[in-house]
Chain A
């Protein structure tokens, strides 16, 4: 019962959330009792108790006839273990489905999430600490500010120990000690990501502080006045992108270096802030040290705001104000007393205040967001402060800013309109943009490109800088579509443009952009929207070969929210590399073998559409001397079991099918639900209201997020 296993896990992390009820008054025919029992046992966990679908197709209003249904059950169900349903089992289940599952499922309003405590994720903690140090409202710098130029030098066997950049921006220093920007060794190459001011710059690379050469990776050159050439680079960032990093961000980033890695729940793509995240000794130790480091760096006199006279009243006011920011609510009386005692405990009150800040940043009241609420009837309604935090972490991934705390204080967040107003305002902050960029790379698995291993012999241009550029491309693209573009999901799949720097442009065979990561048209139709992103193509491939399976599953799982069961044991694994065959030919056995084909007919023909891209996302026209065939079929795009076919000739037409798909649009709603709630939805009814409103309101992703953090069920727990 492998299929059941999978759904059991969903239940584990999602808690029981929702119930879908059939229309009232329906009776079950006596002869379907056995069918009902078998269905409950073998089918319901994936297809839903009422055939409403879940990880497996909807079964209601079956139109393809009893004979077909019986045959499918007999041959393929339960998926991966059809031997569990033989004899009279298939016809009994088919009869039950046809007799019982008629008409639309009426979803009751979803049951609320469980009350509880959410331990901040690493990203949330880091963003929050930065915001607290910034002292005022949330306005941090984006992760890779516009104007950051990647320098990469590949010595190609030449014995070089030091490389630095010298140019018009740093006064052409001949040595690193003299102000040259040093590149650091990263595998086989030297690399540096350096923010440069707006303007046209010329520069050279200096090897071992002796040999001055133009940047071999940068085709833009100009005369250097000494008979040689300088490399040229232009930087022009809009005003908002050039904001320098907040004071203290470096301190925060370095304090987090030894923060332990985090686990994500099974089948959950996102950073975990949900019910199953717990602390451990290494985590507690890391937090203890981070609090010590950053409180030492904090501008405590400024936070005290007492001037020269740090008197008792002013110190107590510090505890009240800063405590409210750190705990995201006013301090309880016992807490106020404890922190006042720390702040006033010694002769030096500034030192005392610093110690109080450190203790606050170590406190579980800071590390956990409570969602306990106050009892109202059968459920619990989140407090105004809990609503503010839930909204803020949902939209910006960090603590509530002063304006949101003000709105909470006034009671504005008690109404849906009030929450919508604040959610729209938060969407305009830089934190929201960064947060949605992170949503995109977690949803698409693009963040994994930092760690996936590749055969270096096959990909000589591989470097940390290239991988960083791949991630940045995906974040930029998604936030562009959502904030600056059409705001619609269709654009994600059909956009004929992207965002690359010189390193990634070279990888793609595109002209280098004037400014790193400015919007640039794809040179041809080979790539389509995010389907052409190297971050996606490289993470859905093996180290040394493409993987039609992983790419097909990526479309099914990540883009369409369709789950397929894991492969049965005793399969052969990846076919051996054959120097005389294409990947497509090697994987043909999947569709030739009947038991493999029951699943792989939905996977491989989709994955073949990506075959023009190798394991690092480079374009190719042939493999092992044979031309690439990237034709495929996007079967059952609106739901497995629908029996539809959408043949495509290339990746762009696959993108077009996805752009037109209701399932792909609804899947974005499901993924954002998971991202903001920190859990997988219990069943199809949980996210359906959001999907419906998303579509009805024109498919604006910004409004979807507003809906997710302002709906009525968002503020209620059980």
Chain B
């Protein structure tokens, strides 16, 4: 039996020198398929939209057209990656629930009104990522805080259902990379007890399915998928470190069960989760990830982020509060703009990490897609039109980057079709939209 050493988790720095419980399934990225290194996709979500009151006052959308791109204030942190980025405008999520944060969060990745469908990340996990040890990795930073209700979560395993992301990087690290001090002999093959326990669970699940008939098929399917991820971990054999996967570690200094819910720690939590996500992808553990910053209508007090331009210890400015700036002349508009720029800078950090890992003839970023998104467009009006989508990374050369693409009011589900195709999946249409979105793919 593998027992995670709590003691090792108390140390500031979590590390695992290729002792992952998934060690057997860590693989060289190049080994994945004949078409070059494996492609990964990451959805980077931040809450409460962007400052886009219309006209010249907007701070999100870049100026220019096609390859003539002038970055906006919010997107300035992406400057280094502008050639690797597709800037989208004119994408719509449709009229249903327009004006609503939860309505937007439900449509964002499902492209179905009211969250009435599986989300694209889950679809990709089933269709592209199922061979990976972890078919889907959903990490959050204070996303499940304050007894968050299900509509706060953007990832839908099946129509109408959400699960909370993993908000504690220490626990997520332990699950993915195990403890730094493995049980002696643990790497010598699967524990026969672990295997028997899982085999019994699979058999009981089959009996249950027979007795339930058609009832709750989706629920039992999800249970089966979840058990398979456990099985893949348990049955792992032999480690294969790769160039982009060396000594996985995250910095958990300052992160305790108490500070996990304190705004001042948010930047550290997000940094740890970003590092964890990138390394899980670099090490071949997963190809499909979602990073969720906070939750829609966010109470996150961003003015408590010490060492950032947002820091104002004397006054509490929350994300959602700033998004209702009223008038672009209001001081809240400046707060809101600075907050969005900060979120984009955190996405840029993920890009830097991907770009720093050599892979094939380039870097991991060349084979990845990072989608930056939020549940509404302008935060003051909660618009569901002209949504702020940005796609970074070339996806193995599948995506036409370094450009602005105006979708002219087409539905965002079409973008998901294009990106699924960029990932190598054969997807005709998704959600309530058609697809693919013209101009995205090479």
Q: Is the CB of B144 within 8 A of A266?
A: no
Partner of B380, one of A335, A464, A569: A569
Q: Is the CB of A283 within 8 A of B163?
A: yes
Q: Is the CB of B200 within 8 A of A572?
A: no
For A117, list chain B residues within 8 Å (CB).
208, 212, 215-216, 219-220
For B144, list chain A residues within 8 Å (CB).
261-263
For A569, list chain B residues within 8 Å (CB).
99, 380-383
Partner of B149, one of A186, A267, A368, A451: A267
Closest to B193 in A: A355
Cβ distance B374 to chain A, nearest Cβ, rounded Å: 14
Q: Is the CB of A543 within 8 A of B316?
A: yes
Partner of B207, one of A187, A260, A332: A332
Closest to A451 in B: B261
Q: Is the CB of A362 within 8 A of B200?
A: yes
Q: Is the CB of B197 within 8 A of A362?
A: yes
B161 within 8 A of A: yes
Partner of B163, one of A263, A285, A364, A457: A263
How far is A339 from B207 in the complex, measured between Cα atoms in Å? 14
With A281-B226, A284-B226, A358-B193 in contact, do A364 and B201 touch (Cβ < 8 Å)? yes
B147 within 8 A of A: yes
For A263, list chain B residues within 8 Å (CB).
144, 148-150, 152-153, 162-164
Q: Is the CB of A288 within 8 A of B164?
A: no
Q: A-facing mask of B218-234, CB < 8 A → 1, else 0?
A: 11101101110110010
A586 within 8 A of B: no
A342 within 8 A of B: yes
A38 within 8 A of B: no
How far is A153 from B430 in the complex, measured between Cα atoms in Å? 58
Q: B-facing mask of A343-383, CB < 8 A → 1, else 0?
A: 00100000000010011001111001010100000000000
Q: Is the CB of B167 within 8 A of A284?
A: no
Within 8 A of B (CB), among A539-566: 542-544, 566
Q: Is the CB of A543 within 8 A of B301?
A: yes
A570 within 8 A of B: yes
For B320, list chain A residues within 8 Å (CB).
573
Cβ distance A112 to chain B, nearest Cβ, rounded Å: 14
B77 within 8 A of A: no
B432 within 8 A of A: no
Closest to A368 in B: B208
Q: How many A-B residue pairs have CB under 8 A?
A: 204
A67 within 8 A of B: no
A280 within 8 A of B: yes
Q: Which of the 9-residue segments B168-176, B235-243, B354-362 touches chain A?
A: B168-176
With A285-B175, A451-B145 in contact, do A570 and B380 touch (Cβ < 8 Å)? yes
B158 within 8 A of A: yes
For A280, list chain B residues within 8 Å (CB).
138, 157, 163, 222, 226
Q: Is the CB of B167 within 8 A of A291?
A: no
B100 within 8 A of A: yes
With A568-B99, A572-B326 in contact, do A260 and B166 touch (Cβ < 8 Å)? yes
B151 within 8 A of A: yes
Closest to A291 in B: B197
With A281-B134, A370-B212, A573-B332 in contact, do A342 and B219 touch (Cβ < 8 Å)? no
Which of B215, B220, B313, B383 has the largest number of chain A CB atoms within 10 A? Answer: B215
A5 within 8 A of B: yes
Which of A258, A277, A335, A345 has the largest number of chain B CB atoms within 10 A? Answer: A258
A460 within 8 A of B: no
Cβ distance B266 to chain A, nearest Cβ, rounded Å: 11
How far is A266 from B102 in the complex, measured between Cα atoms in Å? 9
For A566, list chain B residues within 8 Å (CB).
100
Which of B222, B233, B323, B381 has the largest number of chain A CB atoms within 10 A? Answer: B222
Within 8 A of B (CB), among A592-627: none
Q: Is the CB of A285 within 8 A of B229?
A: yes
With A5-B103, A542-B316 in contact, do A278 and B161 touch (Cβ < 8 Å)? yes
Which of A5, A261, A345 has the largest number of chain B CB atoms within 10 A? Answer: A261
How far is A292 from B175 in the complex, measured between Cα atoms in Å? 15
For A577, list chain B residues within 8 Å (CB).
315
For B145, list chain A residues within 8 Å (CB).
451
Within 8 A of A (CB), among B280-328: 299, 301, 313-316, 320-321, 323-324, 326
For A572, list chain B residues within 8 Å (CB).
324, 326
For B219, list chain A residues within 8 Å (CB).
116-117, 119, 278-279
Q: A-facing mask of B99-124, CB < 8 A → 1, else 0?
A: 11011000000000010000000000
B263 within 8 A of A: yes
A241 within 8 A of B: no
B92 within 8 A of A: no
Q: Is the CB of B150 within 8 A of A2?
A: no
How far is A574 from B258 in the complex, measured between Cα atoms in Å? 27
How far is A448 from B147 in the complex, measured between Cα atoms in Å? 7
How far is A542 from B303 in the complex, measured between Cα atoms in Å? 14
Size bracket of the A interface: 35 or more
Q: Is the CB of B216 within 8 A of A571?
A: no
Q: Is the CB of A2 within 8 A of B135?
A: no
B188 within 8 A of A: no
B262 within 8 A of A: yes
Partner of A363, one of B150, B161, B200, B222: B200
Partner of A455, one of B99, B100, B261, B316: B316
Closest to B152 in A: A263
With A368-B208, A543-B316, A573-B321 in contact, do A288 and B229 touch (Cβ < 8 Å)? no
Closest to A114 in B: B215
With A278-B157, A573-B332 in contact, do A359 and B174 touch (Cβ < 8 Å)? no
A660 within 8 A of B: no
Within 8 A of A (CB), among B123-159: 134-136, 138, 144-153, 157-158
Closest to B213 in A: A372
A12 within 8 A of B: yes
For B197, list chain A residues within 8 Å (CB).
288, 291-292, 355, 358-359, 362
A693 within 8 A of B: no
A268 within 8 A of B: yes
For B233, list chain A residues within 8 Å (CB).
285
How far is A255 from B215 in the complex, measured between Cα atoms in Å? 32
For A220, list chain B residues within 8 Å (CB).
none
Cβ distance B329 to chain A, nearest Cβ, rounded Å: 13
With A280-B163, A358-B193, A453-B263 in contact, do A2 and B99 touch (Cβ < 8 Å)? yes
Closest to B263 in A: A453
B7 within 8 A of A: no
With A5-B100, A570-B380, A573-B326 in contact, do A116 and B216 touch (Cβ < 8 Å)? yes
Closest to B160 in A: A12
Q: Is the CB of B301 within 8 A of A281?
A: no
Partner of B151, one of A9, A116, A364, A457: A9
A84 within 8 A of B: no
For A279, list chain B residues within 8 Å (CB).
163, 219, 222-223, 226
A218 within 8 A of B: no
Closest to B158 in A: A278
For A115, list chain B residues within 8 Å (CB).
215
For A264, list chain B residues within 8 Å (CB).
147-150
Closest to A295 in B: B197
Q: B-facing mask of A411-439, CB < 8 A → 1, else 0?
A: 00000000000000000000000000000
Cβ distance A464 to chain B, nearest Cβ, rounded Å: 7
Q: Is the CB of B227 within 8 A of A282?
A: no
Q: Is the CB of A574 within 8 A of B207?
A: no
For B175, list chain A residues within 8 Å (CB).
258, 282, 285
How far is A464 from B282 in the complex, measured between Cα atoms in Å? 39
For B316, list chain A residues within 8 Å (CB).
455, 542-544
Within 8 A of B (CB), among A429-475: 445, 447-448, 451-453, 455, 457, 464
How far is A643 from B286 in the complex, measured between Cα atoms in Å? 58
B69 within 8 A of A: no
Q: What are 9 A-B residue pairs whose CB atoms fall within 8 Å in the complex?
A: A117-B212, A264-B148, A278-B158, A285-B229, A359-B197, A451-B147, A569-B99, A569-B382, A571-B324
Counting from the closest, the 9 A-B pairs by CB-CB distance are A573-B324, A284-B226, A569-B382, A261-B144, A281-B229, A263-B150, A266-B151, A359-B200, A280-B163
